[in-house]
Amino acid sequence: MSLLPSSSRFRPGDVVSDHRMVTISGGTVQIPDDQRVHLQFRRFAGCPVCDLHLRSVARRHSELVAAGIREVVVFHSTAEELSAHASDLPFDVIADPDKRLYVEFGVESGTRALLDPRAWLPILRGIYRSFMAVVRKRQPIPTVNPHGGRFGLPAEFLIATDGRVLACKYGVYVYDQWSVDDVLALAGRESAALRSEEPLREPMH
């Protein structure tokens, strides 16, 4: 198992070095942890598309907990900005306004995040959901000029307790990510993959 150099992309079988991060609520996250970690990289605080996805994860968070998976989500916003938009999420949220973790994990940005036709329907759904939440005063209006820009691409990693990357996904557009079912399926196949010494393969859609 190789230790990945900084600013490169991870692959299954690579090892994540020790990280200790502070959440927006003041708690700490240790990676690797004593349970598997599903580490997500999203965009900015109040991002309508990110919020659309993360609310679906929040609704099924108990299933992830039951499967021994710790959910950790990173944004390239400040903790203050995130507190206004994500403090009610039931999992760990990390502020990385300088994008240090994004660079380390090889998470990219690009106009294709929004220009890919597959992104358009989720964008419309996300905007509608955010608009209704603002109207109902459930969340503030997202900033026009978000910290870190608008063109971030998602990425996510399933990390074992010894730091090995069991599976990873680098999204090619803004709503290109695993569903909760995907994460649970990957975690469920972990023991079989370990026995065969083969990395977990990304779910096919």
Q: What's the whole-number mean pLDDT along residues 185-190?
A: 88
Q: For residue 182, what pLDDT is reported? A: 97
6 domain residue, yes or no: no
Q: Is residue 192 part of a domain?
A: no
- E strands of 42-182, at which residues? 69-75, 92-95, 155-159, 165-170
In whole angstroms, give the CA distance from residue 164 to residue 79: 28
Distance of CA 49 to the CA centre of its chain: 12
pLDDT tens track for 60-103: 999 999 999 999 999 999 999 999 888 899 999 999 999 999 99
Domain count for the chain, please give it: 1
Q: Is residue 169 part of a domain?
A: yes
CATH of the domain at 121: 3.40.30.10
Q: Considering the entire predicted model, what is its pTM?
A: 0.85
- The model's pLDDT over 16-37, given as tens digits with 9 standing for 90+, comes to 999 999 999 999 999 999 999 9
pLDDT exceeds cutoff 60 at 2 = no
Look up the domain containing 112 and give its range: 19-182
Mean predicted confidence (pLDDT) in 173-201: 80
